[in-house]
Amino acid sequence: MNKKAVALISGGLDSILAAKVVMDQGFDIIGLYCTSAFSKSYGNEQETHAVKVSRALGIDLRIFDMGQEYIELVRRPAHGYGKNTNPCIDCKIFMLKKARAIMDELGAPFVVTGEVLGQRPMSQRRDTLQVIERDADMRGLIMRPLSAKLLPPTKAELAGQIDREKLLSISGRSRNVQLRLAERFGIRGYSAPAGGCLLTDKNFSAKLRDLFEDKVAIDPNDIRLLTVGRHFRIDTGVKIVVGRDNA
């Protein structure tokens, strides 16, 4: 049996814990960290929590820039936005498709995610998890170790490749169980929940909507400019950006 598995690693506690739970069943984890112009750490990926924690746990981490394709997804998400301009369902599907390519390359039996049933109102409901599996063409191939006992068994569990009894049954928005597990495993240096995505920020989202309305063609440089200074739209096609400091 192939004892490699692919894991989506964000640098947050849930994704790291999910990978660790699978590692403790003898699997080597190949991590995938997806970055984009909407990531606060864009251009400084080697300094991220994902890289540092993966290194500490012995996870082989691959960094993937989602690039122009992802900008177009954010502009027109099939499943809509969350509270701001965060297309969480489409984003997860996009990343899982990239992880699936690595899974097939390695002949690995599944992809690991840190999703927790009921933790996020848009993308981690029971029905939404099924939509994500369907649209990513990964039915039975997504291992969610933190909530696995509350979800249907994956193909790997049914085949005896992984012990379901050693998986967890976490649900809801409280992170008390995860914090206790982090203490037990000695995991430190992870990022704050949802702390790395600009698309969840109200002010950034307002500027992004304005940009989408004003320009047909948008590239990563346009996105990064939105993070600098104060922006004022004074006319169609004309914007003033006022620097906040000398730099």
DSSP structural state of residue 47: G
Q: Is the pTM of this model over 0.75?
A: yes
Task: Report the pLDDT value the prediction gives residue 121, as an integer from 0 to 100.
Answer: 87
What is residue 2's predicted lDDT score, i.e. its pLDDT? Answer: 73
pLDDT at residue 171 in the model: 97
pLDDT in the model for residue 1: 67
How many Cα atoms sit within 13 Å of 64 on the Cβ side?
A: 22
Residues lower than pLDDT 50 in the chain: none
Phi, psi of 39 (to 5 degrees): -85, 135
Query: 10: which 2 tokens?
Result: 């964000």
Beta carbons within 10 angstroms of residue 227's beta carbon: 14
- Determine what percent of the chain falls in helix, strand and coil, rounding each to the nearest 5: 40, 15, 40
Provide the 3-class DSSP secondary structure of residue 14: helix
Helices 88-106 and 67-75 cross at an angle (nearest 10°) of 150
For tokens 């992870």, name the residue.
190
Closest CA to 141 of 174, 173, 101, 179: 101
The CA-to-CA distance between both ends of the chain, in Å, stands at 55
Q: What percent of the chain has pLDDT over 70?
A: 99
Confidence at residue 236, expressed as pLDDT on a 0 to 100 scale: 77
**DSSP structure string for 204-241:** HHHHHHHHHHH-SS--HHHHHHTTSSEEEEEETTEEEE
According to the model, what pLDDT value does residue 192 have? 79
pLDDT digits 0-9 by tens, 15-36: 999 999 999 999 999 999 999 9
| pLDDT score of 237 | 78
pLDDT recorded at residue 69: 96
What was the pLDDT predicted at 56?
94
How many CB atoms sit inside 10 A of residue 242's CB? 9
AA identity, residue 168 = L
